[in-house]
Amino acid sequence: MKQSMLSNWNLVRFLRLGIGIAILVQAVIAKELLFGIAGLVFTSMAVFNIGCCGAGGCRTITSGAKTITNTTKDITYEEVV
């Protein structure tokens, strides 16, 4: 858990963290509970590196999947005059 919090920081993760902190600050200033919850969600998404589908849940799994072979047939055309 500690390793996932400290590694793989990229631009999107920093952006989520910045948005989360900005929402939390705004929630404290405006004394709004809903903004505070949204800020906690965005901040925790950045800190724990999770998204809507979880950590890496949106990628497709290709191992063990069926591969589609492209078979083509030659088409002969007849000229009509």
Pairwise CA distance, residues 9 & 74, whole Å:
51
Q: What is the pLDDT along the chain (81 residues), one digit of tens a residue?
A: 676 677 778 888 888 889 889 999 999 999 999 989 989 988 988 888 877 665 555 555 555 556 666 778 888 888 888
Give me the amino acid identity at 75. Answer: I
For every residue of 5-70, DSSP letters joined together read HHS---HHHHHHHHHHHHHHHHHHHHT-HHHHHHHHHHHHHHHTT--TTSTTTTSPP-TTPPPPP-
What is the DSSP code (8-state) at residue 81? -
